[in-house]
């Protein structure tokens, strides 16, 4: 995955190095961090566009994010798409979890899945929640899943 900042600046370092450097810098400036990871997708024509974000929240001081975009030409159901979104987020969370534990940074995985059964995305809620929780991560769904439903949604 290629990563960038919101201003478009590419992150040239490997993800682990960039995240560790970020944590060290923020800690040195006195900020306590929490990391929220989320993915959103949108069907555009014959392609599915994905955006995965790593949101760094400074306690009571705002935040910033790293962004990765991707697209697929594969035709898929809404349920498949939701599970793919969660899979991408879990993959990033799994890559970072040891590093975040080392620096005592809280981690949440956000799923762009509605808890209201009247929404289509709800068909994947139980599977997504089971997948994320079984990996040992804190799970958030809409309306509390801002990393996926707000941040990733804006950068597709």
Taking the model in full, what pTM does it have? 0.94
| pLDDT (tens place) for every residue of the chain, 156 residues total | 899 999 999 999 999 999 999 999 999 999 999 999 999 999 999 999 999 999 999 999 999 999 999 999 988 999 999 999 999 999 999 999 999 999 999 999 999 998 988 888 888 999 999 999 999 999 999 999 999 999 999 999
- Helix/strand/coil percentages in the chain, nearest 5: 40, 35, 25
Q: What is the pLDDT of residue 75?
A: 87
- Neighbour count for residue 49 (Cβ, 10 Å): 15
- Return d(Cα 30, Cα 9) in angstroms, integer: 25
**pLDDT at residue 74, as a whole number:** 85
CATH number of 3-154: 3.30.420
Domain residues of the chain, as ranges?
A: 3-154
Nearest Cα residue to 105 out of 54, 155, 152: 54
């Amino acid at each position: 995955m290629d990563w960038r900042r919101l201003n478009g600046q590419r992150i040239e370092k490997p993800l682990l190095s960039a995240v560790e450097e970020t944590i060290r810098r923020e800690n040195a400036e006195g900020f306590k961090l929490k990391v929220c990871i989320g993915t959103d997708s949108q069907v555009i024509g014959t392609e599915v566009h994905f955006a995965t974000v790593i949101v760094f929240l400074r306690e009571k001081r705002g935040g910033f994010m790293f962004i990765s975009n991707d697209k697929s030409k594969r035709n898929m159901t809404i349920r498949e798409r939701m599970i793919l979104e969660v899979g991408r987020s879990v993959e990033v969370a799994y890559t970072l979890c040891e590093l975040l534990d080392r620096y005592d940074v809280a981690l949440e995985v956000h799923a762009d899945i509605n808890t209201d059964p009247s929404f289509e995305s709800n068909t994947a809620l139980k599977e997504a929640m089971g997948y994320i929780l079984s990996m040992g991560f804190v799970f958030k769904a809409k309306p509390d899943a801002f990393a996926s439903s707000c941040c990733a949604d804006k950068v597709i």
